[in-house]
Structure 1
Amino acid sequence: MPDTPTYLAGDCGGTHCRIRLYDQHGNQLAEGTAGPANASLGLDVMMAAIIDASEDALTKLSSTQIALSSLKAGLAIAGLVNESLRRKFCEMDHPFASLCAETDAFVARLGAFGTKDGALLITGTGSCGFGVVQTQSFYVGGWGFSISDQGSGARLGQLAIRRAVQAFDAIRPSSPLCEEILKSLGGTAASAHHWALTAHPADYGNFATVVFAHADQGDPVADQLLTEIATEIDELVSALVNKGSKNIYHMGGLSGAIHSRLSDETVRYLVEPEGDTFDGALLLIKEKLGLTNSHSQVP
């Protein structure tokens, strides 16, 4: 086991969990991946994915063998907003030498702006905005798929499935997008309903690429849905601006694809970041920020 510290930086989202290992100089050593690690899926599910991704990264190290128990971990965790979840996170057992974490928005903003003012808007599987203005911090959205997540991939997928079911019931006109989605869900509204009973946000988010593909082919329903999602993102940016944020970094799986549909007023506030989520996770560790879990199971 090396004497020098090895840092584990994690991006734990609703679609997948990515882990990167770094040496004490900030050089990346390896990367590992696993399934969804959103806190809203359950902390046990989340931690299992984090451990799987960490072990995947460890197997890719070229020489030095490093144990989980020697890693100093900093995690950006989607859905870690509920006070009860945050308290339970700080009390759960873990296999790392040390562990700190914050919401994915908090950590990504830290990577993008460091200690300077600025806001972050994530539109991936879910959505969340987080800003800091003159040491005051605030969130916009990020309250989970059931009541929030506007402008997200999961929201887009849900709207598309809803529209496909409406077409099946002859409530609204159909289109090639509606036909493909319904076929993939079993071909009937009843089969789509059965699928939805156990579907997670990432399952809905998987349909986002289908919508974009059909929009490129001129599908009117797909085009309408993307216009609706772009408007929701415009609203999120407007909320951040109204709270004092003038520099906003827009990131996430939808950010690039939807950019051309955003309003000119939105685009004028968007800026490029100084670093990414992994940079933020490293700062989280080194500056001892965010939530700290002292329940390491390392002997």
Structure 2
Amino acid sequence: MVDFVIGVDGGGTGCRAAVAGRDGRIVATGAGGAANVLSDRAGSLRNIRTAIDAALAAAGLDKGALQRSGVLLGLAGSNVGDTAAFVAASLPAGRVEVVSDGLIALEGAIGDGDGAVAILGTGSIFFARLGGAVRSYGGWGFVIGDFGSGASLGRVALSAALLAHDRIIAASPLTHRLIAEFGGAPGPMVEFARTATPGDFGRFAPAVFAAAEEGDAVALDIVTKAAASVDLALDRIVDDGVDRISLLGGLAPLYPAYLAARHRPRLMSPVGNALAGAVALAARRFLGSEGGAQ
């Protein structure tokens, strides 16, 4: 039996936690740094604990309350290897369950009905629910997956800046701006990329979209190709029988104008956020509650 439930929304740029009582209602929240367990396990665990401890403190509870809590974590990268088991074993909570950040986003955005979410932030993943069955698409990490993500957009933009520097492609205001950020020479950019995290690359994505809106040819090419990859995933989801889709994540407001016309009527506003979804799932898993957090 648990006295509290804690939902955690962990992403590539930040982590949030919420504490709820046995009625499933959120009483306090806390925040921490990035929680992409694929790229930085130790750092992610520290940030998760920071967020949880902050939420407990805001609720007037001491850290010992964690041992009397059921914790459900929605984490980017949790679907790869032994990541979920590692995180679960590292938290001194009463009960722990680790799921994809996409699953809590799905729950928050559409509740427990049919629908889908496309999470387009530092990373990317797609989730769809049909008749109670949940299916994921993508989400395989920055190195070989996460198409349409901020990290991928940023990496491609820096690569294009180097191609323009070498006169392999035509330069544009975006490529000039990016190379200038590194002192006007490729060396510092290459050194940055050698150790950059997905979040480091992702910080360039808004500039790519902004340049595309201004008609920058390089930026338009990058965004158009990224949107086409998102369209492919949405096509698959629709073919699988789901046609209500919410776009989530930091890039969600920027993508609709670049998506195929066939998908725009299917887009719906989310009813709630991922943190509320994590708490709602935690309440069902640990308390058997059908209610959600408000």
Query: Shorter-chain-normalised TM-score: which range?
Result: 0.7 to 0.9
Q: For the residues of structure 2 that align with 1:27 and 1:137, how far apart are their CA atoms?
A: 25
Q: Residues 42 and 229 (structure 1 numbering): CA distance in 2 closer, same or farther, change over 3 Å?
A: same
* CA displacement at 1:27 relative to structure 2: 4.0
Work out the CA distance in 2 between the residues paired with 1:23 and 1:182.
Answer: 51
Secondary structure of residue in 2 paired with 1:109: helix
Residue pair 1:248, 1:270 contacting (<8 A) in 2 also: yes
* Superimposed CA distance per residue, residues 51-82 of structure 1 (whole angstroms, 9 cap, x where no aligned partner): 01222334444xx3332434432211111112
Contact 1:101 1:284 in 2 (8 A): no
Distance 1:105 1:197 in 2: 28
Cα drift, residue 88 of structure 1: 3.1
Q: CA 1:58/1:283 → structure 2, altered by over 3 Å: closer, same or farther?
A: closer
**Is 1:40 the equivalent of 2:38?**
yes
1:112 aligns to what? Answer: 109
| Structure 1 stretch displaced more, 47-56 or 93-102 | 93-102
Q: Distance in 2 between matches of 1:214 and 1:264?
A: 22
Between the aligned partners of 1:35 and 1:114, the Cα distance in structure 2 is 27
Give the AA of the match of 2:47.
A
Structure-2 change in CA distance of 1:59 and 1:135 (3 Å)? closer
SS in structure 1 of the partner of residue 82 of structure 2: helix
The residue number in structure 1 matching 2:187 is 190
RMSD, matched Cα? 2.2
| Deviation of 1:240 (Å) | 1.1
Instruction: For 1:286 and 1:25, locate their aligned partners in 2 and report how far apart those are by CA, in whole Å.
Output: 8
Q: Which amino acid aligns with 2:283?
A: K
Residues 215-256 of structure 1: CA deviation (Å, up to 9, x unaligned): 343322222222222222211211211222222221111111
State whether residues 119 and 130 of structure 1, in contact with CA within 8 Å, keep that contact through their aligned partners in structure 2: yes
Secondary structure of the residue aligned to 1:210 is helix
Letter in 2 for 1:84: D
Q: What CA deviation, in whole Å up to 9, does each residue of 1:267-291 have, x standing for no partner?
A: 12222333321222122212218xx
Do the aligned residues in 1 keep the contact of 2:36 with 2:75 (CA within 8 Å)? yes
Could you tell me the TM-score, scaled by structure 1's length?
A: 0.86
Tell me which moved more, 223-232 or 45-54. Answer: 223-232
Identity %: 32
- Which stretch of the first structure deviates more once superposed, 266-275 or 251-260? 266-275
Give the letter aligned to residue 45 of structure 1: G
Does the Cα contact within 8 Å between 1:13 and 1:78 map onto a contact in 2?
yes
Q: Which runs of 4+ in 1 moved over 6 A?
A: none
- Alignment pair present for 1:202 and 2:199: yes
1:149 Cα deviation from its structure 2 partner? 0.8
**2:158 maps to which residue?**
161
Kept in 1: contact 2:16–2:275 (CA 8 A): no
Choose which of 261, 265, 275 in structure 2 pairs with 1:268.
Answer: 265
1:16 and 1:37 in contact (8 A); partners too:
yes
Moved more, 51-60 or 12-21: 51-60
Number of the residue aligned with 1:234: 231
Which residue matches 1:69? 67
Task: Provide the residue aligned with 2:18 in structure 1.
Answer: 20
* Structure 2 unaligned spans of 5+: 287-294
CA contact (8 A) 1:125 1:205 kept: yes
Please give the TM-score of this superposition, normalised by the length of structure 2: 0.88
- Aligned residue for 1:56? 54
Residue range with higher mean Cα deviation, 65-74 or 79-88: 65-74
Q: Helix, strand or coil: the match of 1:288?
A: helix
CA distance, structure 2, for counterparts of residue 59 and residue 286 of structure 1: 20
Match of 2:9 in 1: 11
Q: What corresponds to 2:170 in structure 1? A: 173
Is 2:45–2:87's contact at 8 Å kept on the other side of the alignment? no
Q: Distance in 2 between matches of 1:10 and 1:93?
A: 15
Report the equivalent of 1:283: 280
Q: Distance in 2 between matches of 1:219 and 1:273?
A: 31
1:216–1:112 Cα change, 3 Å: closer
